[in-house]
Amino acid sequence: MLTRKQHELLCYIHDHLGETGVSPSFEEMKEALDLKSKSGVHRLISALEERGFIRRLPNRARALEVTRMPDMKGDEKAGISTRPQAPVIPPSAANDVVELPLHGRIAAGLPIEALEGQSTLPVPAALLGPGEHYALEVAGDSMVEEGILDGDFALIRKTDTARDGEIVVALIDNNEATLKTFRREGSMIRLDPANRNYDAQRYRPDQVAIQGRLSGLLRRY
């Protein structure tokens, strides 16, 4: 039997995956459940993993898969609200490969110039959701607490809009790009790192253009 918070988190992950095709970030989960810290999210995820409701996908940042949902009758008896389950869509076959444009290196530290390249990166189709994508090589360590490391390849879904809590490629002053968590702070745009050694960056909205949203991560060993 799940606690109410465990059930709320499971439903939130399930719905987010159905809507966006990617797992929510720890910051998004913390805010959705009105928790005080990410450590509470970690405990809930570990409990759900132990009970077989979710599993972590290896070699991918913030990658969770809902393996089953609670029994609805059991939940109703326990006084836990339930909602209809979305159909489970099987991922693309593991041997399906997509060639994504590889557009140079993207800073996960201080902004650096985004390099336009002509090369491509072969990516398993199962790592991608709907929409048009491109790849960027990560440079820097400011997103390590989201599992994004120097040398990783960020798989980016093209979009020019972002919601609070999403990890985005932000183009600064039309010539520098960075990979950060997007926030609105009053009349300013705040780009948050995921490394306590780095400070948030604040810009006027006219200085920031969203170039895409993180869809997945590819790591070579």
Predicted local confidence at residue 100, as pLDDT: 87
What's the number of CA atoms in the CB half-sphere (13 Å) around residue 71?
6
SS3 of 31, please? helix
Separation of alpha carbons 191 and 195, rounded Å = 12
Separation of alpha carbons 169 and 154, rounded Å = 10
Separation of alpha carbons 80 and 56, rounded Å = 25
What b/e string do you get for 72-83 counting C-beta neighbours within 10 Å, with b at 16 or more? eeebeeeebeee
Predicted local confidence at residue 63, as pLDDT: 73
What is the domain class of 98-218 according to CATH?
Answer: mainly beta
Q: Which of 207, 147, 216 has its CA nearest to residue 178?
A: 207
To the nearest 10°, the Cα dihedral for 137, 139, 141, 144? Answer: -10
Predicted local confidence at residue 13, as pLDDT: 87
C-beta of residue 2 within 8 angstroms of C-beta of residue 10: yes
Which phi and psi angles does 120 have, rounded to 5°?
A: -130, 165
Same fold, 4-77 and 98-218: no
Of 23, 25, 142, 215, the active-site residue reads 142
Separation of alpha carbons 158 and 79, rounded Å = 42
Determine the residue type at 113. Answer: E
H-helix or E-strand spanning residue 201: strand 201-203
Under CATH, which number does the domain 4-77 receive?
1.10.10.10
Predicted local confidence at residue 109, as pLDDT: 66
Predicted local confidence at residue 61, as pLDDT: 54
Q: Where do the structural domains in the chain lie, given as residue ranges?
A: 4-77, 98-218
Taking CA atoms, 137 is separated from 8, 97, 132, 208, in Å, by: 35, 18, 17, 20
Average pLDDT of adjacent 10-residue blocks, the chain of 221 residues? 84 82 82 84 85 74 75 44 38 62 76 62 78 88 90 90 92 88 94 93 94 87 66
Token pair 């490629």: residue:
169
**List of residues 6+ apart from 120 with CB closer than 8 A:** 99, 100, 101, 102
Q: Are strands 167-172 and 208-218 parallel, antiparallel or unpaired?
A: antiparallel
Separation of alpha carbons 130 and 214, rounded Å = 13
Of 25, 30, 180, 215, the active-site residue reads 180
**Quick check: is 25 catalytic?**
no
Separation of alpha carbons 156 and 158, rounded Å = 6
